[in-house]
Structure 1
Amino acid sequence: MTDEISQHQISDPDIFSRGSLQLTYDLIRPSNAQLALSVRNIVGGAPLPKDASQQDNPHSDHFKVHLDSFQVRHIVEELMQRLQQSAINGTNPGQMIIAKALVEEWVSLARKMVADLPPEEAPP
C-alpha cells in the first residue's frame, strides 16, 4: 500500500466517487454551467490510486475535491433547488432521491471545511 493510498479513505468527506461528481454535474449544469464545469474538471483529473484489481474499472474511481467554500455552498444550493423542484413537480422521484444523497455528501464536505478553518476564521 502506498503512502498516498493510506492518506486518503473513500469515506473522507473530500473524496467523491466518479458517479457522485458526474451526477452533480448533470443536475446543476442546466442552472449553473460554470459551476458544473468546475465539478466536471475534477473528474477530468487523475483519480486517486486504487487496488490493482480495479485498475480497469473507471466506475471505481475516486477523486479528492479541491473547491473553495463558496463553490461548495453554491453546489448545495443548486442541488437543494433541484430537490425542491422534484418534490413540487413529483415527476421524477428518482432524481429527488439522488439529489438528497448528493446534498448529504456535499454538506459533509462543507462541515469538514468549516472544521478545518483556523480558530481565528472559524464561525462563533
Structure 2
Amino acid sequence: MADLSNLVQKAFYLGVGIASYAAEKGGKNLQELRIQAQKVADEMVARGEITAEEARKYVDEMIQQAQQSDPNATDKTKQKEPRLIEIVSEDDEDNTEASNKENLDDLKQQVESLQDELNRLKRQ
C-alpha cells in the first residue's frame, strides 16, 4: 500500500513539474516574441515607414494574437464554459455497443474490398 501511495505522490509531482515547465516555457516564448516584434517595429520607425504610436500598436497586436492562439495563455476576462456531461443509461450502452459492432463489421468489409481492389490493380 505504501508503494501505491508513493507512486501516486510521484505522479502528482511529475504533473506539477510538467505544468510548471510548460508555463515557464510559454512565458519565455512570449517574451522572445515581444522582443522580436519590438525590434521590427523599431527598424520600421527608423526607416520612417511607421510612427512610434503605430509601432507600439503593432507590438501590442502581435502579443495579443500570440496569447489568443496559445491554448495555455490565461485570459482573466474570458470565462470558460463548463464541460458538458452526458448521462447514458445501461440500455443506451447496449444499443451503442451493437451499433459499434455493426460499424466495425462494415469497416472490415470495406477494408477487405479495398485490399482486393489494390491487389487486382497491382496484378495489371
User: TM-score, structure 2 length as denominator?
Assistant: 0.26
Q: Which has the greater radius of gyration? A: 2
Greater relative contact order structure (CA < 8 Å, 6+ sep):
1
Structure having the larger proportion of residues in strand: 1
User: TM-score, structure 1 length as denominator?
Assistant: 0.26
Structure having the larger proportion of residues in helix: 2
